[in-house]
């Protein structure tokens, strides 16, 4: 079925804002990779020494690090982990033991060496390697193969595979403050902070950045993704740096933050997935990881300290899907650990083959993606205007430098900046909800789930989810009436600037509901919402329905059902 999901895009290509790859900040970084990494290493060491000022504390920290690393290797090794790591950590361990037999002076020198070797190892591990040649290749390959898939699948004629009637742009709709983003990227440093639902997000964002004519961004991508070779290839070539969430030790975290901090100071546009990991529940992220986010604030403060007026802009982005490949596994994870503070094992049940299969399905069937680009914020979460000036609530221009001032001078105050990071995080979360685009499929899932939930007020969530799916039926007319009510509320919220919705949400009610049902979780084996023979609403998988329903949690819509 061919469904025109959105208003036809204007389908204009965007001119690149910088002429050649050699001008790109990310290229500059990789060209001077060695010097840059040495700088990261040196500054991280300074920072670690600041946090662990005495020798005893430092040695303890190093011992903890070795201990944790060895534990990790024992319990949770990945394909991407370097082959020599057990040897390396063994060596460090032995060197630490030997410290006891050394004089204070000798030992101090040795400590310095050990710390340096660890930090510099981490820095090299984290660092991306942007290569213009493979960047270009990856870019063209994406365009070419996606193009072929699309045209071959859509236009059912012999030879269609060689046509260029459809491009990715027909599949992926970019809406929101595109012009502003382009302008900000040429005036300052942009940190893009997208929501994270699927492993596909990274590739999607890469394509979007290119298609908007922006230079490549630095990525902080989860190391687990590099286990999947097809991803590893793309991300390496796009300049991704690696974030290993298994490593929670201080030297690693400080090195990671310093890498991002210095890259930002040098003007490299970056992408953080501030949720840290894919949203397990399908909820829009509420709790953001503050570590990487804090580097935006530190980098901005350092720029002010150096009297550099260049600004760092934070741009929230939401990715909206009808369908998330990993949904059944994600929600299972979520339900298992809900209420318990347990570590999520990174399981990627989808190798390269499954992904390709998904891509093919994606391009051959009518399931589009929309990407909403939010308005630019300064590092304090204030809106900025097109010229990059920060604005207060009354649209007056303010100088964010003053947030870092005490007694008329820019000062460093870690505790203050931690608080600023928290404020920025909550501003980003607010923006996510505002720029989120509601699809018919989200609304269908939401209404169906809440209507059923309402029928069992005595059950808690888990009790409810254990109900046999066969028992759950909503008469179509009842469903339609509720759907209509909620849709009206969404229109109202849109007018108040609280949320956005896709154009396809408007129009004939029956059609919109049908469109939602046809699209929600469309490729899952068990469909979350469908109609039975009588035309009433049923489900085959309540857990997955819960997942898709969660997308609209946080707007207080359930109160109306």
Partner 1 sequence: MKSSSDKPVGVVGAGNFGTVIANILAENRKVLLYARDEDAVDRMIRKQENRGHKMHANVEPTGDMAHLARECDVIFPIVPSQHFRSMMKKLGPYLHPYHILIHGTKGFDIKLPKGGSIETARTLSRREVKTMSEVICEESVVVRVGCLAGPNLSKELSQRQPGATVVASHFNEVIQVGKRLLRNDRFQVYGNNDLVGVEIAGVLKNIIAIASGALSGLGYGENAKGLLISRGAVEMVYMGRALGGDTKAFLGVAGIGDLVTTCNSPMSRNFTVGYRLAQGEKLKDILESMEEVAEGINTVRIVKKCAEYYKLRPLITDTLYKVLFEGMTVQDALDYLMRYPLNVDIDFI
Taking CB under 8 A as the criterion, the residue among 132, 267, 376, 400 binding partner 1 is 400
Going by C-alpha positions, the residue among 321, 277, 289 that lies closest to residue 445 is 321
- Which lies closer to partner 1 via its Cβ, residue 112 or residue 402? 402
Pairing relation of β-strands 218-222 and 397-398?
unpaired
Letters for 435-464 (x = contact with partner 1 by CB under 8 A, - = none) are ------------------------------
Q: Quote the CA–CA distance of 182 and 331 in Å, as a whole number.
A: 36
User: Site for partner 1 (CB under 8 A): which residue of 307, 394, 457, 525?
Assistant: 394
| Nearer CB in complex with partner 1: 73/290 | 290
Q: Is 398 in the site for partner 1 (CB under 8 A)?
A: yes
Token digits for 468?
A: 């046999």
- Closest by CA position to 437, among listed 370, 484, 366, 368: 370
Relative orientation angle of helices 201-211 and 229-237, to the nearest 10 degrees? 30
Give yes or no for residue 423 binding partner 1 (CB under 8 A).
yes
DSSP, res 555: S
Minimum CB distance to partner 1 smaller for 382 or for 539: 382
Q: Does 420 bind partner 1 (CB under 8 A)?
A: yes
Q: Which is nearer to partner 1, 381 or 521 (CB)?
A: 381
Q: Which of 118/377 has CB closer to partner 1?
A: 377
Parallel, antiparallel, or unpaired for β 397-398 and 390-391? antiparallel
The closest of 428, 439, 176 to 285, measured between CA atoms, is 428
Check residue 307 for interaction with partner 1 (CB under 8 A). Answer: no
Residue from 380, 428, 474, 529 touching partner 1 (CB under 8 A): that is 380
Instruction: State which residue, 308 or 419, has the beta carbon closest to partner 1.
Output: 419
What is the spatial distance between Cα 40 and Cα 33, in angstroms, rounded to a whole number? Answer: 10
Q: By CB under 8 A, tell whether 356 contacts partner 1.
A: no
Interface with partner 1, residue 497, by CB under 8 A = no
Best CA proximity match to 62, nearest among 88, 93, 84: 93
Q: Would you say 389 or 503 has its CB closer to partner 1? A: 389
Residue 561 interacting with partner 1 (CB under 8 A) = no
Asked if 419 is part of the footprint of partner 1 (rule: CB under 8 A), the reply reads yes
To the nearest whole angstrom, how small is the minimum distance from the Cβ of residue 303 to partner 1? 16
Number of residues that bind partner 1 (CB under 8 A): 22
Shortest Cβ 274–partner 1 spacing (Å) = 20
HSE at residue 339, side-chain half, CA atoms within 13 A, is: 4
Distance CA 202, CA 278 (A): 11
Binding segment toward partner 1, per CB under 8 A, in 246-254, 317-325, 407-415, 441-449: 407-415
Considering only 407, 460, 470, 508, the residue that binds partner 1 (CB under 8 A) is: 407
Task: For residue 430, state whether it binds partner 1 (rule: CB under 8 A).
Answer: no
State the CB neighbour count (10 A cutoff) for residue 531.
14
460 CB burial (10 A radius; 0-12, 13-18, 19+):
exposed
Neighbouring-strand partners of residue 222: 243
Q: How far apart are CA 18 and CA 94, in angstroms?
A: 50
Rounded Cα gap, residues 381 and 379, in angstroms: 5
Residues from 231 through 270 that contact partner 1 (CB under 8 A): none
Two structure tokens written together for 533: 């023979």
- Cβ–Cβ < 8 Å for 512, 444: no
Q: Select 312 or 538, whichever has its Cβ closest to partner 1.
A: 312
Pick the binder of partner 1 from 11, 54, 307, 396 (CB under 8 A). Answer: 396
Which H, E and C letters describe 172-195, residue by residue?
A: EEEEECHHHHHHHHHHCEEEEEEC
The yes or no reply on residue 304 touching partner 1 (CB under 8 A) is no
Minimum distance, C-beta of residue 221 to partner 1, in the bound complex (Å)? 32
Which of 239, 293, 295 has the alpha carbon at shortest distance from 26? 239
**Of the ranges 25-33, 51-59, 315-323, 413-421, which one interacts with partner 1 (CB under 8 A)?**
413-421
By CB under 8 A, name the binding residues for partner 1.
380, 382, 392-394, 396, 398-400, 402-403, 405-408, 413, 415-416, 419-420, 422-423
């Amino acid at each position: 079925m061919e469904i025109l999901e959105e208003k036809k895009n204007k389908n204009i290509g965007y001119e690149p804002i910088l002429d050649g790859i050699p001008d790109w900040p990310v290229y500059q970084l990789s060209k001077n990779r060695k010097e840059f990494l040495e700088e990261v290493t040196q500054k991280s060491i300074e920072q670690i020494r600041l946090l662990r000022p005495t020798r005893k504390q430092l040695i303890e920290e190093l011992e903890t690090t070795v201990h944790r690393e060895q534990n990790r290797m024992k319990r949770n090794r990945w394909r991407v982990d370097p082959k020599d790591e057990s040897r390396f950590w063994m060596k460090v361990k032995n060197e630490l033991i030997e410290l006891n037999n050394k004089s204070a002076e000798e030992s101090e020198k040795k400590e310095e060496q050990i710390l340096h070797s660890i930090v510099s190892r981490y820095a090299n591990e984290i660092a991306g390697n942007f290569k213009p040649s493979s960047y270009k290749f990856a870019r063209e390959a994406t365009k070419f193969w996606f193009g072929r898939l699309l045209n071959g699948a859509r236009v059912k004629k012999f030879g269609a595979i060689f046509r260029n009637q459809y491009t990715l742009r027909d599949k992926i709709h970019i809406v929101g403050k595109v012009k502003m983003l382009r302008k900000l990227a040429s005036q300052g440093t942009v940190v893009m902070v997208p929501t994270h639902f699927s492993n596909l997000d990274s590739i999607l964002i890469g394509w979007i950045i290119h298609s908007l004519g922006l230079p490549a961004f630095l990525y902080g991508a989860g190391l687990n993704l590099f286990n999947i070779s097809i991803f590893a290839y793309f991300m390496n070539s796009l300049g991704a740096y690696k974030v290993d969430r298994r490593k929670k030790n201080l030297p690693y975290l400080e090195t990671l933050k310093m890498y991002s901090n210095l890259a930002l100071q040098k003007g490299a546009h970056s992408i953080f997935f501030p949720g840290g990991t894919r949203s397990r529940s399908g909820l829009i992220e509420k709790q953001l990881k503050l570590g990487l986010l804090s580097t935006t604030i530190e980098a901005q403060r350092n720029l002010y300290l150096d009297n550099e007026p260049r600004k760092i802009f934070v741009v929230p982005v939401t990715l909206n899907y009808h369908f998330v490949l990993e949904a059944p596994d994600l929600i299972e994870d979520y339900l298992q650990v809900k209420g318990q503070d347990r570590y999520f094992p990174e399981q990627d049940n989808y190798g390269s083959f499954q992904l390709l299969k998904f891509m093919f399905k994606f391009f051959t069937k009518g399931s589009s993606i929309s990407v909403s680009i939010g308005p630019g914020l300064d590092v304090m979460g204030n809106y900025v205007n097109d010229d990059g000036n920060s604005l207060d609530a009354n649209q007056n221009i303010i100088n964010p430098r003053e947030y870092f001032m005490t007694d008329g001078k820019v000062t460093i105050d870690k505790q203050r900046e931690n608080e600023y990071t928290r404020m920025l995080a909550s501003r980003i979360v607010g923006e996510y909800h505002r720029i989120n685009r509601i699809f018919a499929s989200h609304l269908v899932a939401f209404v169906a789930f809440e209507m059923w939930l309402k029928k069992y007020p005595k059950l808690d969530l888990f009790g409810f989810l254990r109900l046999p799916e066969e028992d759950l039926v909503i008469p179509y007319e009842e469903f339609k009436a509720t759907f209509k009510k909620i849709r009206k509320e969404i229109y109202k919220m849109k007018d108040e600037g609280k949320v956005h919705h896709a154009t396809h949400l408007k129009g004939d009610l029956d059609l919109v509901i049908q469109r939602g049902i046809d699209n929600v979780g469309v490729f899952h084996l068990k469909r979350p919402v469908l109609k039975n023979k009588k035309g009433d609403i049923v489900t085959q998988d309540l857990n997955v329905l819960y997942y898709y329903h969660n997308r609209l949690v946080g707007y207080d819509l359930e109160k109306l059902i």
